[in-house]
Amino acid sequence: MQPLPSTFRKQNSVYNIGYIKKAHGIKGEVVYIHESDYLPDENELLYIKMHNGDFRPFRIEQIKAAPALSDSSFFVLFSGTASRTDAEALKGLTVHSETEPVFDEDPSDDEPTVFDCESFTIKDESQPIEGFITGVEENPAHPLLIALIGQTELMIPAVDAYITGIDYEKGHITAQNLEALLEIASDNG
């Protein structure tokens, strides 16, 4: 395979097909959010627009769906990204293709997910326990909501045993069993 050039100003037309949300794991994978109906394949050459405006070519080594995150999320390993540090450097950058995408006009695909809950309030429905979400982390089993309850940081599994409802319009999460998580946190703290 021919080596890829480092960076260059792309002369031909390229089309924005998504962006890199964040690093995933320690081996250089990223969470790629896909924003078109055109889905790239493994070994396909894509271009990432770097902070200085140059496009850097990357070949897809692996791509796999991440349906727990959203229907448009994928775990991608690009050529040349071999560590979390490499992947972190790509966070927030846009991904482009030479293939013109077809965009889905159906707004129902833009449904919010648990990953849109950062800065939401959270309240236990049966206890006087409340706080706010400071972040959401990926986990192989299920996403984890990072919540600040008083001075205690909790990792709350985004499962029915703890989360009973999410109101995306009001930015509020209704929960249960937070007292048990607070006890575990205080035993470990």
Domains of the chain: residue spans and CATH: 15-110 (2.40.30.60), 114-188 (2.30.30)
Exposure of 23 in the CB half-sphere (CA atoms within 13 A): 14
In percent, how much of the chain has pLDDT > 70?
87
Q: Phi and psi of 137, rounded to 5°?
A: -115, 150
Rounded to whole angstroms, the Cα distance separating 36 from 17 reads 6
Whether 185 shows a pLDDT value over 70: the answer reads: yes
Q: Is 75 exposed, middle or buried (0-12, 13-18, 19+ CB in 10 A)?
A: middle
Record the tokens describing residue 50, joined without a space.
Answer: 């770097």
Rounded to whole angstroms, the Cα distance separating 92 from 53 reads 13
Residue found under tokens 């390229």: 14
On whether the CB atoms of residues 151 and 160 are closer than 8 A, the answer is no
Please tell me the pTM assigned to this model: 0.49
More confident residue, 13 or 133: 133
Chain segment 9-36, per-residue pLDDT in tens: 454 678 888 899 999 989 999 999 888 7
Rounded to whole angstroms, the Cα distance separating 85 from 65 reads 22
Chain segment 138-170, per-residue pLDDT in tens: 888 889 999 999 888 999 999 988 999 999 999
Strands 172-175 and 121-124: parallel
> Cα–chain-centroid distance for residue 100?
24
Count H helices and E strands in the chain, helices first: 2, 12
Chain segment 79-117, per-residue pLDDT in tens: 989 999 999 999 999 988 887 755 555 555 568 888 888
